[in-house]
Structure 1
Amino acid sequence: MKRREFIAGTAALLVSPKHAGAQGARRRLGFLAIGDASGQALNQAERVFIDTLRSLGWVEGKNLVFEYRFSHPPDRLTASVADLMGLSPDVLVVAGPQAAIALKSTTATIPIVFVGIADPVGLGLVQSLSRPGGNITGLTTNVPDDFLAKRLEILRELVPGASKIALLVNPDNPMQRPYLAEHIPSIARKLGIALPIVEATKTEELDAAFASAAAQHADAIIDFGDSLTYVQAPRIIALAAKHRLPANYMFRHYANGGLSVYGADTGDLFRRAGSYVDKIFRGAKPSELPVERPTKFELVINMKTAKELGLNVSPSLLVRADEVIE
């Protein structure tokens, strides 16, 4: 369904009487992400966000105006930010660290709700999780310390004896370099495996990154999680198949062909973001809303891909999976 067709359709829906208080002055909501700029479709998580707002009484065409900007490639980000700011939004919702930094540097007054940032304190977006301060709050994607280790353990269950697992990273992502420097050496020592890093900052570098992982005889690969790789999921899944690299991904939409997924339930994060936007529309300040961590995680195993790679998936892993794709 077309993005504008979907949003226009929401305008025809009635608002529940219990939320009639939201029927006052029309609010303008800006959304910014580095991602698919085609403007053709909402992803599943974004639909949850819109559904949540609608259930709380905020309906496009009645008391709410949506303004979407998807900046791809990332070098269009400055123009996208300027475009959104020129519309004088009441609240801004932002997905991903690069876009969040761009908005923070532009406004200290318009409330911002972020989704999909691993460490907002380390990134300098908020003072602390419990007391964000300023005009920004939101939802993180990770829990501390052991999240990557869990993803590695899943791959090692899928590929018993794996001693070298490549990490696909984007060095332009401001969250990844500090995490890699601080945590990767200790995780590698703890698990007794090698974790070579392969890099891609743009689409045309993905082929070389996977070729590098294969040349280094990696037993498997982890997509560290980034706006670039999120948008390029079909290409990354195809490259993993081409090089016969069992892979683990962070987001649910990779399960369409990808071997395994373990990460926060992004639909749930966007649902909670919708609740935060509602509170801010009704007078709450971002500084009063603590940053929250994910509480729901998804483990998905694609058995078709496992069979194509010649992998035998253990019953214990299948039992723990939230979804098994046959």
Structure 2
Amino acid sequence: MSYQVPMRRIGLPVILALSLFAAPLANAQQVGQIPRIGFLRTAAPPESYIEAFRQGLKERGYIEGKNIAFEYRWAGGRTDQLPELAAELVRLKVDVVVIEGAPPALAARKASITIPIVMASSGDPVGTGLIASLARPGGNITGLTSINAQLGGKILELLKEVVPNLTHVAVLGPMDSLLHDLFLKNTEAPARALGLKLTSLRFRGPNNFESLFRRATKERANALYVPVTPFTSPAHRKQIVELAAKSRLPAIYGTRDWADIGGLISYGADRIDMYRRAATYVDKILKGAKPADLPVEQPTKFELVINLKTAKALRLTIPQTILLQADQVIE
């Protein structure tokens, strides 16, 4: 003998009430499960960098607010703020921390040796002790290196071609930048080969920019190089470009955003491309890959940007050979 359990009719109001009750629970569960990515930098990056990273994730199916969330922490140019900001990201239990530069990476690693850290860019991660090697980084850090510490020879050659009778190059960088030290060390030999003197100008903050430019003028530097540094905010970058113009110092910078705001020349790794590629690392890690097993990549795209308006103001003639190499000429 079989028994049939009678079905009860549930009225529409009850169904609606149950659905309204269940929806917030489902949404809360979904929000709680979506991965959170922490950003940690010494200073705020250009918006184009963040947008490139978002686009890289979007190409892999991640949409902000839907299946991924971001936490941004900028230190306002103060490296002493980085440890607390890194600790804050750890307390928020982010799934990955994305950084640029050695100081944020060191702060993030000190805050946690388990949360994966992705370098959107770092000058010499082996030399600064962030990773064991490019092929097998080990630990919880991987990502991309800008290898700017090795670009010194090319930078000096460009300046030599652009600036007549070049003899003395001032190099501007933050007081506690390991990359600045590495750049100077790796550029000594190319400078000697080209017959150039190098002078290091170290700043603690924007308050001594003017005094450093006065020193460069006093010591008869006839060109300036500003390597890639995440220590400078957009306002500080603008101030440096204006001081270079006021001091009539032809200057070359490490990323194109400087040329966009009036810098004479920029040459270096394409940062927008690197931030887009950093999204690939985040995707792999979220899918279970370990940072220790993901090789660190080097740049595949370099950009040369010439600002002819600035060249004209400095009464410089950019050689045709340089213009033909440029990825962009700003007129």
TM-score, normalised to structure 2, is 0.86
1:266 aligned partner? 271
Structure 1 distance, partners of 2:319, 2:47, is 32
Partner residue of 1:189 out of 182, 189, 192: 192
Partner residue of 2:252 out of 242, 248, 253: 248
2:227 paired with 1:224? yes
Structure 1 distance, partners of 2:149, 2:253, is 18
2:85 aligned partner? 80
Partner residue of 1:112 out of 117, 123, 131: 117
Partner residue of 1:158 out of 148, 155, 162: 162
**Cα deviations by residue, 1:100-147 (Å, 9 ceiling, x for unpaired):** 1101111111111012211101111111000011111010112663x1
- The 3 A distance-change label for structure 1 pair 144 and 183 is closer
Q: Which letter maps to 1:253? A: D
Aligned residues with identical type, % of pairs: 43
Contact 2:252–2:263 (Cα < 8 Å) also in 1: yes
Q: How many Å apart are 1:220 and its aligned residue?
A: 0.7
Q: Which letter maps to 1:293? A: Q
2:44 paired with 1:44? no
Q: How many Å apart are 1:153 and its aligned residue?
A: 1.1
Partner residue of 1:27 out of 6, 26, 35: 35
2:207 aligned partner? 204
Partner SS for 1:81: helix
Contact 1:229–1:236 (Cα < 8 Å) also in 2: no
2:28 aligned partner? none
Structure 2 distance, partners of 1:253, 1:42, is 8
Map residues 57-96 of structure 1 onto 2, 5 A cutoff: 57-74=61-78, 75-96=80-101
2:317 paired with 1:312? yes
Partner SS for 1:196: strand
**Cα deviations by residue, 1:239-273 (Å, 9 ceiling, x for unpaired):** 00010000000011101201000010001101110
Partner SS for 1:205: helix
Structure 2 distance, partners of 1:53, 1:210, is 41
1:280 aligned partner? 285
- The 3 A distance-change label for structure 1 pair 113 and 141 is same
Contact 2:96–2:115 (Cα < 8 Å) also in 1: yes
Structure 1 distance, partners of 2:85, 2:149, is 32
Q: How many Å apart are 1:94 and its aligned residue?
A: 0.9
1:97 aligned partner? 102
Q: How many Å apart are 1:54 and its aligned residue?
A: 1.4
Q: Note the aligned Cα RMSD (angstroms).
A: 1.9
Contact 1:259–1:303 (Cα < 8 Å) also in 2: yes
How many positions carry a matched residue from both structures? 299
Q: How many Å apart are 1:200 and its aligned residue?
A: 0.8
**Cα deviations by residue, 1:152-200 (Å, 9 ceiling, x for unpaired):** 11111111221111111222112322442x3243222111111111121
Structure 1 distance, partners of 2:305, 2:119, is 25
Runs of 4+ in structure 1 deviating by more than 3 angstroms, as ranges, are none
Q: Which letter maps to 1:86? A: R
TM-score, normalised to structure 1, is 0.87
Structure 1 distance, partners of 2:81, 2:32, is 35
Partner SS for 2:231: helix
Structure 1 distance, partners of 2:41, 2:32, is 28
Partner SS for 1:197: strand
2:5 aligned partner? none
Partner SS for 2:240: helix
1:239 aligned partner? 243
- The 3 A distance-change label for structure 1 pair 286 and 219 is same
1:16 aligned partner? none
Q: Which letter maps to 2:58? A: R
2:20 aligned partner? none
2:216 paired with 1:213? yes
Structure 1 distance, partners of 2:300, 2:274, is 9
Partner SS for 1:319: helix
Q: How many Å apart are 1:24 and its aligned residue?
A: 11
